[in-house]
Structure 1
Amino acid sequence: MATENKLSDTLLRKLHGKLQPRQKMMADGRGLSVRVSRQGGLSFVFTWREGGRTSIPKAVTLGRYPDTGLKQARQIRDRYRVQLAEQGTLKLENETAIQDGPETPAEEMSRPEAMVTVREALEYWFTGYAKSHRKGWKRDEERITKYVYSTLGGRPVDNCGIREWVECFEKIRVKYPVSAGAAFQVCRQALRYCRLRGYTSSRVLDDFRLSDMGSKGVKRERVLNEAEVSSLWSALQEDGGIYAPQPYLRHLVTVLVIFGCRTHEIRESTWSEWDLKRRQWTIPKSRTKNGHILVRPVPERLMPWLECLKGKHKEQDYVLGQFQTQMRISKLGSFQWQWLGHEQKWRNHDIRRTVATWMNDAGVNTWVVEHLLGHAVAGVAGIYNRAQYLTEKKQALDLWLDRLLEYSTGYLRLPDSGKNSG
């Protein structure tokens, strides 16, 4: 008689989340095994035959650890074995599983053959490729988690057909066509990556184009006019007002307006990047879009504001006090134009374009603006010239801050204090 209950909770805890040289199966006994992915994901698998030892074995994934525990997986296995003994077959689509007493629907009963799931395949790509080669991988991961994992995450990827993928992307496309297109491109690239490495074999997305599943983002041209910049800055400096319920957004947008930086640059920024004595903000190349270190001088008039913010969040590493995802900030920021009563829609990234446009119109040299924004410099200069132009950047930022302060009291409102910095 085969040995059963070979696995233990201690062993599963040690394996969970630990990178493995290859995918492997570990038997618990009596048809139950745990599949260990290269990324350390654990899935319980039940294997059986319906026609004796000469028949083709079948398998079903019972659930992912730790959402499905070892005890629960064994209960499902025992129930299946009883059904096989009594009926000679399993009807997975109508089955229930025992979970600590009352019978409840098994999460994974509708799964066919036990294979690498869609989630595991995409995680394999994120770990093996995206995190080291794509600057925007975190945003991709947020998008995939929200839209794809919730629909197809638990499905075996090699058994997931065209219809399932099309329905997944169509559901996104109804409201967010650009997000649907971006998610499709990630999934198509991830499946190709997995197939070339022998992890999966699916080619289901190969023949589709971006336009079949979503839309490509168009280059925006929105620039806030002077009246809009004035009302935005005044609202940021106002006690209470529309930003009172959203102090995180108030602080984030304040930095965006002053520096013209990318949203993720301040959203992910920690105090280790800020040298308040030298008045410099240094973004490491691992966080810049062009792969080069970016140093921005900090205007002297901003120092009391930053010191107050640091004191307010002294227990936190993040400059803004906490980490917020790009999707959440983008969604929240998309309502600001309505809060301010502006006629045309604008987004946080349009602030960056507005700062660049104003500086160029004010006579700041274009190459200084480009360096301040963190744009890649084209040609030979981009290869050999690593100058930071701190003096020129400081002059440009001071000139811009002069203009901003004309829209308010002439002072920067300290974070959530109701006091001015001057």
Structure 2
Amino acid sequence: MATNKLNDNKLKALLKNLPEKETWIADGEGLALRMQRGGNLSWYFRYRLGGRNSKLERLFIGKYPDLPLAAARKLKDKCRNWLADNKDPRFMLDRITQEALKPVTVKDALEYWLNNYAVHNRKNHEKHRSQLIAHIYPKIGAMPLSMAERRHWLDALENISRKGSPVAAGYVLQMCKQALRYCDRRGYATSTALERLTIPDVGKKQEKDDRVLTDSELSDLLKWLNTNRIQPYYRDLIKLMLVFCARTKEVRLSTWDEWDFDAKLWTVPKDNSKNGIRITRPIPDRVIPWLVDMRQHNNGPFILGEFKEGTTVSQYGRILCKRLKHKEPWTLHNLRHTFITKNADLGAAPHVVELLAGHELGGVFSIYNRGEYLSEKLQVLNCYLDRLELLAEPQKNVIAATFIRAL
């Protein structure tokens, strides 16, 4: 079958000497030029979907000279490839035309992942969104995803590091990579611009935080909690974290209906736990009078009396060590590391401490062992309270001095 029958000189000659009636001239392999009265020259791709006996389809692909010969042949090759993949060129061409007219932007792709995946599977999805709004959308959010090259992404991500947040830059990179892979798997949009980038290319990995407070530092903190220099909200928050090895979020979002004073149990619902599991912690007898006093002073559903955002609480925790004049920095999360480490030194069973911390037991324990170990947990909590009592008031040796004193 002859191909490439037309050339530019022949097409220019046709424009000067148009036929009086409609005429078709084939270029080969399905590409043909339709000439009409009035000087219209149009490119068509002619094909059959079901073999020789099926209907002949004519697909308009552009006008000449707006669509030059070379470009028409490239488009014809695309149509032939679609046919080879059992795809109708008419539908495929319409699809890419729509994408060209209204392309999927970088923001569209990331929002697609946020709304269809992160909202349902990530507890911190709002943090993801806020980081994208702050760092990615202003830089490249409006760009068509297909035109956002690696250099564009690098400029946006490296800008986070330049502002002093290299760990956040790596975090955002990993998030965006997952989002683009999700879009590709769903057939929404495709981009491989981030595939070869790693965290060191834009920032740095978060260092492992294994900080444990010394007995002297714990003593400073406990004495600080007994002064008037700390807001009641943060005083109660830190006490609850110290006593129960609770995460900041578990305490921030805790409401009074989670606390059963008759059964002496605090049950953290799945929605408030990091791992999406319910956490049950016994309440030691000596802590209940303090909790009852808190309830009398704190109005509303929240045990701390009000709601504060996680970022606000974390910021306060980062400066607390400076107020106590501790040389090595620590955060509120390090109170959990301290609880786990100190109880290991006291001989507590590791699996009981892990359950108090809200960690899932590994291996077959996570599948078959559903025990709450309430008596063992209570023993660990009481033992640790004894330790805190000695550090808080070594002369009096009374836990009430710190945990039950009138607020």
TM over 0.5: yes
Contact persistence 1:308–1:414 (CA under 8 A): no
**2:250: which partner in 1?**
265
CA distance in 2, matches of 1:380, 1:202: 40
Q: 1:145 to 1:351 in 2, by over 3 A?
A: farther
Residue of structure 1 aligned with 2:279, choices 294, 298, 305: 294
Q: Which of the numbers 155, 159, 163 marks the counterpart of 2:151?
A: 163
Q: Deviations over 1:360-396 (max 9, x none)?
A: 1112112211111122212222211111111111111
Question: What letter matches 2:119 in structure 1?
Answer: K
Is the alpha carbon distance of 1:147 and 1:254 closer, same or farther for their aligned partners in structure 2, counting shifts above 3 Å? Answer: farther
**Partner in structure 2 of residue 125 of structure 1:** 113
Q: Does 1:357 align with 2:345?
A: no
Q: Which residue does 1:208 correspond to in 2?
A: 197
Q: 1:146 to 1:257 in 2, by over 3 A?
A: farther
Give the gaps of 5 or more residues in structure 1: 1-53, 57-111
CA distance in 2, matches of 1:329, 1:286: 19
Query: Do the aligned partners of residues 277 and 154 (structure 1) sit closer, same or farther apart at CA in structure 2, a change above 3 Å counting?
Result: farther
SS in 1 for 2:193: coil
Distance verdict in 2 for CA 1:255–1:226, change over 3 Å: same
Q: How does 1:26-175 map to 2 (within 5 A)?
A: 114-174=102-162, 175=164
**Deviation of residue 164 (structure 1)?**
3.0
1:310 aligns with 2:295: yes
Structure 1 pair 363–123 and aligned structure 2 pair: CA distance change class (3 A) = same
Unaligned runs of 5+ in 2: 1-64, 68-99
Deviation at 1:142, TM superposition (A): 4.3
With the length of structure 2 as denominator, give the TM-score of the two structures.
0.67
Contact kept? 2:392, 2:402, Cα under 8 Å? no
Amino acid at match of 1:407: L
* Aligned residues of 1:139 and 1:327 also touching (Cα < 8 A): no
Residue 237 (1) aligns with residue 226 (2) = yes
**Which residue in the other structure is 1:43 paired with?**
none
CA contact (8 A) 1:412 1:421 kept: no
Classify 1:120/1:206 alpha carbon distance in 2 versus 1 (closer, same or farther; 3 Å): same
Alignment of 1:312-351 (within 5 A): 312-315=297-300, 317-351=301-335
Partner in structure 2 of residue 397 of structure 1: 381
Q: Which amino acid aligns with 1:163?
A: R
1:309 Cα deviation (Å)? 3.1
Q: Which residue of 1 aligns with 2:215?
A: 226
Alignment of 1:187 with 2:172, yes or no, is: no
The CA distance in 2 between the partners of 1:414 and 1:226, in whole Å, is 16
Structure having the higher helix fraction is 2
1:302 partner SS = helix
**SS of the residue aligned with 1:344?**
coil
Q: Which residue of 1 aligns with 2:42?
A: none
How many positions carry a matched residue from both structures?
Answer: 307
Q: Which amino acid aligns with 2:318?
A: S
Secondary structure (helix, strand or coil) at the match of 2:280 reads strand
Q: TM-score, normalised by structure 1?
A: 0.65
Tell me the distance in 2 between the aligned counterparts of 1:275 and 1:156: 54
Take 2:252 and 2:107, find their aligned partners in 1: how far apart are those partners? 27
In structure 2, relative to structure 1, the CA distance for the partners of 1:220 and 1:311 (3 Å cut) is same
Residues 199, 205 of structure 2: 8 Å contact kept:
yes
Q: Structure 1 165/272 Cα, relative in aligned 2: closer, same or farther at 3 Å?
A: farther
- Alpha-carbon distance change, 309 to 165 in structure 1, aligned in 2, over 3 angstroms: farther
- Residue in 1 that maps onto 2:265: 280
The alignment yields a C-alpha RMSD, in angstroms, of 3.0
Which structure would you say has the larger Rg?
A: 2
Matched AA of 2:269: P
2: distance between equivalents of 1:394 and 1:177? 42
User: In structure 2, do the counterparts of structure 1 residues 324 and 126 end up closer, same or farther at CA, with 3 Å as the change threshold?
Assistant: farther
Structure 1: distance between partners of 2:161 and 2:188: 29
Q: Distance in 2 between matches of 1:55 and 1:264?
A: 62
Is the CA contact (8 Å cut-off) linking 1:237 and 1:408 kept in structure 2? Answer: no
1:84-126: CA deviation from partner (whole Å, max 9, x where unpaired): xxxxxxxxxxxxxxxxxxxxxxxxxxxx975444444323212
- 1:177 is the counterpart of 2:161: no
Q: Which amino acid aligns with 1:226?
A: D
Percent identical residues: 37
